[in-house]
Every structure is written in C-alpha cells, then in structure tokens.
Amino acid sequence: MTVKLHEFDNGFRVVTEYMPGLKSAAIGVWVMAGGRHERIEQNGIAHFLEHMAFKGTERRSALQIAEEIEDVGGYINAYTSREMTAYYARVLEDDVPLALDVLSDIVLNPVFDESEIEVERGVILQEIGQVMDTPDDVVFDWLQEVAYPEQPLGRTILGPTERVSSFSRGDLRRFVGEHYRPEKLILSVAGGFDHDQIMAEAERLFAGLERGSDKVIVPAQFAGGERREIKTLEQVHFALAFETPGYLDDAVYTAQIYSSVLGGGMSSRLFQEIRERRGLCYSIFAQTGAYADTGMTTIYAGTSGEQIDALTNLTVDELKRAAGEITQTEVDRARAQMKAGMLMGLESPSARAERLARLVAIWGEVPSLDKVVAKIDAVTVADVRAHASGLITTAQPALTMYGPVDHAPHLAHLKERLAA
C-alpha cells in the first residue's frame, strides 16, 4: 500500500492510498474548520453549514445529490467536529470520479436557498432537542464547557438554540469565505481507484481556487471546575476530566495508554473494581482525546443517586492507586490494544481515508505505521506512572453531574481525596 501526497500551489492537498484487491473506495474532502474556529456569534454555524451542503448546489438539487450517489449503490455523509468538517462518500471503483464531482460541488458551490435554510434550521433545532433529552450527551457538552470556559473549544458543536434560530444566508456565506479556502482543504482517497484520474480531476476542480489569509486560533486554556444539575432521572451521569497533552506532543501516547489501563476495556482497573467487584454501575470507561494544543482524559459512569458517592470516591481511589501500582503487564496489554485497534481500523478504506486526512492536517505528512508503532512501544511503565502522578498532584479537574445528584460529593471533596 502506497501513500501519495501532493500539494498544489494554492495550498490544496491531495492524499491517496491505493489498497490492492478492493473494488471500492472511500473519498472525502476534509475542511480544517470546525467548532473552535467560530466566533461566539457564529457558534453552531460550522455544523449548520455541513447540513446545508446537502440541500442543493448551483448544479444539483438536494434530491439529485442523494440520487446520484445512491443510484450507483454508494453512500454520502458528513460530520462536524471541533477542529474539522468532513464530507465523504463510499462508492465502487468506477464511480470514484462521480463521487469526487458531487463532493466538490457541495463543498464549493452550495446555493443556500432561503427555504431550505428554514427547513434545515428546524431539523437542527430538533437535533439539539434530542441531545438535551440524552443525559450522557448533555454531561459531555457541559464537561467541555467547564474544562474550557468562555472559549471556542468549550462551546457545543451544535450551538445554542438562540444562535441557530437566527443564522442567515449571509452568515453561512461569510463562514465559507473565511474558512473554506484551498489551504484548509484536504482531498483524501483510499481503496481502489485510478490515482492519475484523481489528480487530474483535483487539479481541474480545486487548483484554481484563491488562497485565503491565515486565521488565528485562540489557544486553549484548560481551567477545570464543576457543574451539576438535579434532574429526575434513573441514574446520575458522572464525568470527570483532566487535561492531557495535545496530539502534537508525543506524550499523548502515554496518556492514551494510561486511560486504557484505567478504563479502556473489561480488564481495566475501573471496570474490574467498580463494576465487576462492587456492582455499582453498568457502564464505566476512561478515554483520552486530543486537539492541536490540548487534550482530555475523561472518565464517565452512570449509577444511581444512592451509589454515586461510593462510585466517585472509589474512582478517585483508583486514580491514586494507579499512579503507584500500574504494572508492566497492564502497559503491555494497553499497548497491544492500541496497536490492534489502529491496525484493524486500517482494514476499512473509510477509516484509512479519514486517518490520511487527519495526519496531513496535523503533521503535513503521513508518518509511516512503523513510526507510530515505535512511539507507542517507547512508552514505559515509569512514563505511565509519572503521568498518573502528575494528574492527581497538579491537574485541575473538571467535573459534571446530571441526574439525582443530591448526595453526590462536590469537586472540592474529590480534590481533597486525591491529595490525601
């Protein structure tokens, strides 16, 4: 499998990886603009724009966009994250040029019809309402806000109802003009395809775009803090987070191994102690996510109002024990899980295309798998213990709880317990 990366004079990049034996391909345009690129009055507009891309272009109606891809048995979709927006499709090898034409059309030529804006506004408001009715979604949105207060990175991707209710066609066009510039666009293709054909079409469609001006990203400042809300629910939804390195820091691999040991699977410390031995919850896990300049290790659990006190205290105790007791066997297991997950994911052309785009966005290149594996293998038990110790001694955690939290301990209590 060979990765090829090309950058046109205007900064537009194309990254491809041919996968022998496949008769289909994943293709997408990744835009290096998401929730954290919005000004406060724009909060939610990147996601709104993603929705509107499928509502018609200068050449195609909304129905034609869907039909052209589905008529050949493919599918098309999109998503918005805090640092990127992606528009992607999966089609058979012979239909890759069609998919590229449709994707480029929805990214470059949306019409933002006023009637379609109103229809999609209603859809997004329903989506916001659905999230508000989903406690384990709400608690993570609050956690982001508590961790990064009054910052773009701390705002919800969907945006608040009042903002979404007021976005206009002009607002959408302004965001496109500011961020949908060639130097912030990456075309990624993986699977079965004709590379020369992709390059010729990419040049025709994107090489003539005019480069934009650089936009300053507000650096993230992890503050920590607490938010809780009493709600009549069956369970308390509990989320606790600590700042960890961003993805440009090799220490992110240490943080990921640590969170895997702590709560990455059925053999993890939190799962074994709190679910298997104590029976205090059905779901509990830890995970590490990263952005360009910061990251978070997050612990989540759901339990009853009567048991939340025991669950939170045991979680803190397990954090403290891990700092001094993590073993070579646990690190080896977490390392194996990371490598296996990465390699298994690469068997999918969709996952591979997304990986290519993300690596180019982060590094400007695609590091070899051997290089990534070497960084994972370089993490030692001492590294993981030192990272764990740093979290409990110097970090300012963020805590959110939602549900019957009347008897739940506050953040001050958990910090005292960590320090004891």
Distance from C-alpha of 355 to C-alpha of 361, rounded to nearest angstrom: 10
* C-beta separation of 118 from 282 below 8 A: no
DSSP 206-262: HTTSPP----PPPPP----EEEEEE---SSEEEEEEEEE--TTSTTHHHHHHHHHHH
C-alpha gyration radius of the chain: 23
Q: Are 312 and 414 in contact (CB under 8 A)?
A: yes
Closest of 313, 327, 305 to residue 240, by C-alpha: 313
Q: Which of 320, 309, 257, 311 is nearest to 288 (CA)?
A: 257
Catalytic option among 17, 38, 50, 116: 50
What's the one-letter identity of residue 181? R
Distance CA 1, CA 355 (A): 14
The SS3 assignment for 18 reads strand
The residue assigned the tokens 């090799």 is: 250
| Residue tagged 């890759």 (tokens) | 96
Q: What is the DSSP letter of 272?
A: I
Structure tokens at 77: 């979709």
> Could you confirm whether 50 is annotated as catalytic?
yes
Strands (DSSP E) contained in 82-164 are 85-92
Q: Alpha helix (H) ranges present in 285-380?
A: 308-325, 328-345, 349-363, 369-377
CB 40 within 8 A of CB 387: no
- How many Å apart are CA 279 and CA 13, to the nearest integer? 51
- Residues noted as catalytic: 50
